[in-house]
Amino acid sequence: MLGKNTGSLSGKRIILGISAGIAAYKCAELTRRLIEQGAKVRVVMTDSAKEFISPLTMQALSGHPVSEHLFDPAAEASMGHIELAKWADLVLIAPATADILARITAGMGNDLLTTLCLATQAPIAVAPAMNQQMYQAVATQENLATLTRRGYLIWGPAYGEQACGDIGPGRMLEASGLLSCVETHFSKKDLTEISFLLTAGPTQEAIDPVRYLTNKSSGRMGYAIAQAAAQRGAKVTLISGPVALETPENVFRIDVESAEEMHAAVQTHAKDHEIFIACAAVADFKAADIATQKVKKKESLNEITLTLIKNPDIVASVASMTKNRPFTVGFAAETQHLEAHAQKKRIQKNLDLICANDVSRNDQGFNSHQNALHLYWDTGNKPLPLNDKTELAKQLINEIITLYKKAK
């Protein structure tokens, strides 16, 4: 766990405004995650928000009393609403219900939270959270459009199943998604002139209409790298196999299933990017013949032979480009002889950099939130020790940019 004086948000002062929505429960996790990254968090709650999460919970997590009332003599004696408004580097309203959005748009100041929005000079972000019909209502969309014109940051919403049972847009972003938005907001934007193309996740190679060959890749490492690059202002295109992950903020995502589809997408886009990172766990082989109907189990048959043929080598095809070739980074997921296998792959495929990781360990790699990498290039190598994939991705981007600039 990161200390309070370290992390991507070290010293940043954030007011978390909680309004009355069921998604308020996510603010407990969000507060914890913000503080882990070094932020100082003050919580402001509307009266109705206390029906969904208790001020005591938020006080315990933030380490400070929750501000609840516009007229609080004790607060006015120390940090009143004007002082609180001046204190903030960012005001984040989450969940932002249809009601609070309407009141902010109208310029009302009839409680502490809306008054803060009028009094602060800090950027204000809202994380919409409401029923899909309420979100799509003309009034709500016009309010969001007005707030956007005024410079408000609109983070979300996500699409999915809602507490009422409806399915559609209106879910508040998860704590991890909002943390990413906050980190992106405060990140130095030093990569605006560089574009990244990444692959992430597994591929699925069909056997018949219901069965396929795949692997254990979750896509977390590739998505973390895409997020780390985007947070620093880079243009990022992410070609993703099937994963259960949200698209990082400011990342253009292309969904594919098979290695052939991923290869075609990479061939289309590689020439338009300066850096290519092949993080996907691409299937080396596919079925020679894909059955058009489900292969039925026969009681008399105890075994079946499946003929496999090679898939295209995506990273090698990019590294061999003779025109507009991007700086090419590969990954080597190994279970033994890490350095020998990684170096052989780097040389054979003509890669500028290879990132090797030991997937035989249970605490890192596939389906883990942590990973460790050892980087190898033609003139050196460097280990990146076990760390959360989000933090590891930031370190990796630093190393890639250093080598990329030297190679130019």
Per DSSP, the residues of 21-61 read: SGGGGHHHHHHHHHHHTT-EEEEEE-TGGGGTS-HHHHHHH
End-to-end CA distance of the chain: give it in Å, rounded.
Answer: 37
pLDDT tens digits along 172-190: 999 988 998 999 899 889 9
pLDDT at 103: 97
Note the pTM of the prediction, 2 decimals: 0.76
**For residue 326, is the peptide bond before it cis, meaning its omega torsion is within 30 degrees of 0?**
no
Question: Which residue segments constitute the domains of the chain, with CATH numbers given?
Answer: 13-186 (3.40.50.1950), 195-407 (3.40.50.10300)
72 pLDDT tier (thresholds 50, 70, 90):
low
Closest CA to 318 of 283, 266, 359: 266
Q: Which of 117, 164, 279, 355 is catalytic?
A: 164
Phi, psi for residue 71 in degrees, rounded to 5? -110, 90
Active site residue 164: yes
Q: What is the DSSP string of 288-332?
A: SS--SSPPPP-TT-------EEEPP-HHHHHHT-SSSPPEEEEEE
1 pLDDT tier (thresholds 50, 70, 90):
very low
